[in-house]
């Protein structure tokens, strides 16, 4: 936590309201996101209890597994989920635009530009909290290796047709969510915490209800009071007034309400199975339906408040103007979505359980690069983020006090003007350090020459007012001529902001193809076309 964020948190403590830590929205929000509020069964891995899902805030679909340990009921839930998620995803696969991509020509080995399809927009999945992101990944993992009856007629428990496909998509969403700055799958708590500082710790910010209470408390109530109530207040029955955003449920809810309801459902089901004639069966079917309805009501009662809170959070975020670089990052998400669409169309096998060495190294390098890109872009888009970088000595802003024209030595002298900037900031400038400013969206580089004094080169603070004079030599983006192009060199009196970090990220060293993996890294992976085996099912797998 940087000092500037700490300060914002303490201001929030003192004022009882969350404070902005961003002045623009740093993530893309779709016009039509698919909101997914799942609940899981405590103690079981990947045993969903139910979910609210949909794109219409007024009409979510409720999916419930009345006995989470029953495999068939779970498959029914996943099939229903597939029927909602896959049409939503498919709606984005068909509208494409032409885009250029650089590829290596397999014959000549040269880098050539090719025109390929790029999906014009991409789906966006929104979950309440970071645990929800993990749950999406877990669901994806639990489904993508399942076999349908069509794929494998001998499988003892075939999955419904579209479930493995849903698993592959959820895996892709989950994997993409690990990429810094991506917006295919977002958690509302992360989004809100990125834009507001509350008067509580980041651990407590994981609670969607209390986070919202700080940002937008009901009425004039102080945020801390509202947050405390959201977090801890219980009704006469011992149930939380604001249920946790999940996917884990409150133990008191499990023990007092859910367990009896599931038991009643089990009893009704065995009673139905034991019915001896049609009339009796009719009665008992009624009882079973009522028992199932009871579980459904319970699940809805715990997910609906979270559903509303998610949309409330989205409303707050939509009120912020979008950052200038956000569309650029969303385009990367669209590339990622298009690439996965192509892999599925091409009939490639599901994502492997464990990445091979080269893929893993590539993923890590890409994440590091995207993190650096995100940090730079957020600072360029948002003066408040830039303020943090300036405080850290990684950027400085100030007024141009002097511009002296100078030229490079050599056969064809190019302009290398010396610009003096007066700043209150304390940048950590080393000898000939490179600095950058944004010029029409492109970075312009300059190098640090020295600190200027009142008369010529000196150090530090000539006027004794805390301001320093920094002399920079502008290096590029001034055109090809002897005279710099108009507007490409700052003028006296201009306000400028230079960063010590680069604005754009270059790709790192190229890694070998997976087939060329050296033995030090495990050697080439096995047959890439091999379809991974499904998870073994055991008798004990009575989830």
**Contacts of other proteins in 61-120 (CB under 8 A):** none
Sheet holding 61-64: strands in order across? 61-64, 48-54, 34-40, 125-127, 185-187
Q: Which residues pair with 457 in a beta bridge?
A: 452
Judged by CB under 8 A, which stretch of 177-185, 360-368, 388-396, 445-453 contacts other proteins?
388-396
Among 155, 293, 371, 438, binds other proteins (CB under 8 A): 438
Q: Assess 201 for contact with other proteins (CB under 8 A).
A: yes
Closest CB to other proteins among residues 352, 450: 352
342-to-23, 91, 118 alpha-carbon distances in Å: 37, 15, 10
**Contacts of other proteins in 469-528 (CB under 8 A):** 494-497, 499
Residue 523 Rama label (left phi>0; alpha psi -120 to 50; beta): left
Judged by CB under 8 A, which stretch of 95-103, 177-185, 365-373, 529-537 contacts other proteins?
529-537
- The helix (run of H) or strand (run of E) holding residue 242 is none
Output DSSP code: residue 257: I
CB of 385 to other proteins, least distance (A): 8
Q: What six digits make up the tokens of 171?
A: 């895996």
Closest CB to other proteins among residues 4, 418: 4
Rounded to whole angstroms, how far apart are CA atoms 454 and 456? 6
Residue where the block lists tokens 């009142």 = 454
CB of 128 to other proteins, least distance (A): 18
Judged by CB under 8 A, which stretch of 13-21, 122-130, 415-423, 521-529 contacts other proteins?
13-21
382-to-23, 327, 374, 386, 387 alpha-carbon distances in Å: 6, 15, 12, 6, 9
Q: Assess 383 for contact with other proteins (CB under 8 A).
A: yes
Among 15, 95, 104, 459, binds other proteins (CB under 8 A): 15
Q: What count of Cα atoms within 13 Å lies in the side-chain half-sphere of residue 359?
A: 12
Q: Assess 9 for contact with other proteins (CB under 8 A).
A: yes
Q: Assess 301 for contact with other proteins (CB under 8 A).
A: no
Q: Assess 133 for contact with other proteins (CB under 8 A).
A: no
**Contacts of other proteins in 37-66 (CB under 8 A):** 41-46
Q: Assess 203 for contact with other proteins (CB under 8 A).
A: yes
The answer to whether 211 and 225 are in contact (CB under 8 A) is no
Q: Which residues pair with 100 in a beta bridge?
A: 115
227-to-41, 130, 214 alpha-carbon distances in Å: 26, 19, 6
Among 28, 141, 195, 334, binds other proteins (CB under 8 A): 141
Judged by CB under 8 A, which stretch of 135-143, 272-280, 407-415, 522-530 contacts other proteins?
135-143
Q: Assess 297 for contact with other proteins (CB under 8 A).
A: no
């Amino acid at each position: 936590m940087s000092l500037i964020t700490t300060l914002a948190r303490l201001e929030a403590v003192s004022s009882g309201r969350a404070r902005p830590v961003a002045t623009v929205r740093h993530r893309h929000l779709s016009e039509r996101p698919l909101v997914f509020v799942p609940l899981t069964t405590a103690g079981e891995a990947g045993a969903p209890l139910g979910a609210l899902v949909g794109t219409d805030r007024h009409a979510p679909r409720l999916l419930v597994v009345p006995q989470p340990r029953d495999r068939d009921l779970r498959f029914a839930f996943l099939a229903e989920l597939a029927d909602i998620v896959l049409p939503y995803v498919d709606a984005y696969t068909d509208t494409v635009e032409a885009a250029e991509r650089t590829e290596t020509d397999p014959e000549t080995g040269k880098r050539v530009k090719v025109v390929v399809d790029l999906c014009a927009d991409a789906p966006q999945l929104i979950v309440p909290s970071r645990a929800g992101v993990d749950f999406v990944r877990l669901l994806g993992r639990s489904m993508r290796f399942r076999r349908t009856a069509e794929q494998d007629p001998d499988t003892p428990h075939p999955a419904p047709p579209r479930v493995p496909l849903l698993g592959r998509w959820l895996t892709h969403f989950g994997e993409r969510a690990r990429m810094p700055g991506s917006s295919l799958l977002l958690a509302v708590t992360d989004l809100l915490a990125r834009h507001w500082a509350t008067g509580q710790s980041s651990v407590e910010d994981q609670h969607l209800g209390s986070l919202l209470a700080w940002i937008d408390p009901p009425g004039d109530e102080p945020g801390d009071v509202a947050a405390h109530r959201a977090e801890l207040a219980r009704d006469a029955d011992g149930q939380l007034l604001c249920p946790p955003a999940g996917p884990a449920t409150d133990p008191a809810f499990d023990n007092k309400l859910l367990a009896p309801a599931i038991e009643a459902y089990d009893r009704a089901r065995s009673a139905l199975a034991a019915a001896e004639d049609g009339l009796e069966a009719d009665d008992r079917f009624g009882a079973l339906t009522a028992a199932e309805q009871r579980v459904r009501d319970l699940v809805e009662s715990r997910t609906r408040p979270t559903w509303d809170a998610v949309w409330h959070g989205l409303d707050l975020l939509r009120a912020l103007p979008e950052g200038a670089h956000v569309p650029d990052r969303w385009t990367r998400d669209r590339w990622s979505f298009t690439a996965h669409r192509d892999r599925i169309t091409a009939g490639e096998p599901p994502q492997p359980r464990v990445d091979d060495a080269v893929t893993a190294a590539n993923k890590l390098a890409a994440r590091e690069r995207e993190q650096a890109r995100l940090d730079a872009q957020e600072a360029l888009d948002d003066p408040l983020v830039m303020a943090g970088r300036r405080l850290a000595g990684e950027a400085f802003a100030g007024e141009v006090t002097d511009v002296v024209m100078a030229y490079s030595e050599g056969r064809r002298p190019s302009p290398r003007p010396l610009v003096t900037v007066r700043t209150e900031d304390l940048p950590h400038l080393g000898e000939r350090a490179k600095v950058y400013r944004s010029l029409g969206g492109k970075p312009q580089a300059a190098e640090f020459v020295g600190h200027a004094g009142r008369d010529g080169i000196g150090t530090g603070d000539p006027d004794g007012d805390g301001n320093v004079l920094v002399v920079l030599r502008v290096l590029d983006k001034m055109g090809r001529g002897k005279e710099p192009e108009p507007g490409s060199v700052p003028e006296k009196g201009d306000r400028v902001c230079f960063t010590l970090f680069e604005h754009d990220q270059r790709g790192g060293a190229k890694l070998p193809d997976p087939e060329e993996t050296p033995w030090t890294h495990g050697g080439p992976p096995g047959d890439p076309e091999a379809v991974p085996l499904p998870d073994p099912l055991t008798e004990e797998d009575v989830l």
